[in-house]
Amino acid sequence: MLLENNPYCFDVRVRHEAITLAANGYMVSVICPGGLGELRRETIDGVRVYRYPAPRAGSGFLAYVWEYSHALAATFAISLVVLLREGFDILHAHCPPDMFVLVAMFYKLLGKRFVYDHHDLGPEMYRARFRNNADSVIYRALLLFEKLCLRLADHVITTNLSYKTLEMERGGVPSQRIAIVRNGIDLERMQPVDPDLLLRHRAHTILGYVGAMGPQDGVDYLVRALYHLIYDLGRHDVCCVIIGKGDVSRDLKALAEELHVEDHIWFTGWIPDSDLIRYLSTVDICVDPDPSNPFNDRSTMIKMMEYMALGKPIVAFDLPEHRVTAQDAAAYARANDELDFARQIASLMDDPERRNRMGQLGRQRIETELAWVFQEKHLLEAYEALSVC
């Protein structure tokens, strides 16, 4: 397995897939960047993990070129070590970056099978992050790498029906070569706990957000919605805890000060898992401010399922895949309308019975359909299809 965008311990999807395959008789090795203090090589839950030093974090286009080039070279070098030391039959690339197809091309020549695990739409993500247009050279290059992955893959694993439809239309992949394996939740991890008393006493109503803070994640929409909630709708006894970090963290703090809502926001940065679950267990309403764009409209957001697993009602913009995931566990604001987002929050603030009902519906949906235990079979079926090719 090839992984670039996270250390292995932080990528829940990759960890779920690797552990499931190892538990079902596959020998699994994961090549990934290493976090601070992590061993270069170790075995975790039956999975062999090989790590390379991650490049220094940066922002902007050139930083991403360096990051991906470094990852590609390090991954290929370590893959040769794995090939000589252990051998492997299947190369499973978690993408983006879709440039992993260059590694796959080499191993296809050696008779290895290639699984393309399509986490995110690279071309659409690029446009959302850098506000670029469809005519740019970079966008077209990303489309090319994606199409190469789709054409070369012996099997495609994808996260939802929207992605599958695009893979069939844009990549010409037959339906039978695509398996939908959703980002399932670990119910043992996502269990409500006792509230954090310090957070609970910050305001009458506590809002919660968890996730990355890049240009495409819409946290700026959330900050402006809080402005409307406080100054236009007169809801002053509110605090929003924002858990996470990203390229625009400083800009968001500056925006909060500019709009005079900084006293109503607590930016925690990344925090230990136990604190995250305790804080989310404390909040009254969770929020997902991902705006409508070609990337977010097709993507399934893990944070929404984490909110649902903890029994929390959600306010989100009305995006197609949000509806598929949350159904009646969320209140939907008009796409990209920050004032309506604030109005939906205010409506839930005034209706604790509805909040409780929505939370129960969300938790039930996770327990009966969206937990990882319901996704394992789709992953194993895809691998069984590979074994008979």
Domains of the chain, first to last:
8-184+372-387 (3.40.50.2000), 197-370 (3.40.50.2000)
Q: Would you state the pLDDT for residue 38?
A: 87
Tens of pLDDT, residue by residue over 91-129, are 999 999 999 999 999 999 999 999 999 999 999 998 888
DSSP characters over 181-249: ----B-TTTS---PPPHHHHTT-SEEEEEES--STTS-HHHHHHHHHIIIIIS---SEEEEEEB--TTH
Q: Would you state the pLDDT for residue 107?
A: 98
Residue 275 has which token pair? 């604190």
Backbone CA torsion sign across 332, 334, 337, 340: negative
Amino acid at 328: D
CA angle 311, 312, 316 (to 5 degrees): 135
Q: Pairing between strand 41-44 and 47-53?
A: antiparallel
Q: What is the pLDDT along the chain (389 residues), one digit of tens a residue?
A: 999 988 998 899 999 999 999 999 999 999 999 977 889 999 999 999 999 998 776 666 677 778 888 899 999 999 999 999 999 999 999 999 999 999 999 999 999 999 999 999 999 998 888 876 656 888 899 999 999 999 999 999 999 999 999 999 999 999 999 999 999 999 888 999 999 999 999 999 999 999 989 889 999 999 999 999 999 999 999 999 999 998 899 999 999 999 999 999 999 999 999 999 999 999 999 999 999 999 999 999 999 999 999 999 999 999 999 999 999 999 999 999 999 999 999 999 999 999 999 999 999 999 999 999 999 999 999 999 887 55
* Phi, psi (rounded to 5 degrees) for 349: -60, -35
Residues 277 and 279: their CA atoms lie apart, in Å, by 6
Cβ neighbours around 164 below 10 Å, total: 18
Q: Hey, what long-range contacts does 168-173 have (CB within 8 A, 24 or more apart)?
A: 170/143, 170/146, 171/146, 171/147
Amino acid at 189: R
Burial 171-209 (b: 16+ CB within 10 A, else e): bebeeebbbebbbbbeeeebebeebbeebeebbebbbbb
Output the CA–CA distances (angstroms, integers) from residue 362 to 254, 273, 285, 314, in the order listed: 34, 21, 13, 9
Tens of pLDDT, residue by residue over 180-231, are 999 999 988 899 999 999 999 999 999 999 998 988 999 999 999 999 999 9
Q: What DSSP designation does 336 have?
A: T
Cis amide prior to 313 (ω within 30 degrees): no
Output the CA–CA distances (angstroms, integers) from residue 68 to 36, 40, 92, 117, 150, in the order listed: 19, 19, 17, 17, 19
Total residues found in the chain within this entry: 389
Q: Which of 6, 215, 211 is nearest to 96 (CA)?
A: 6
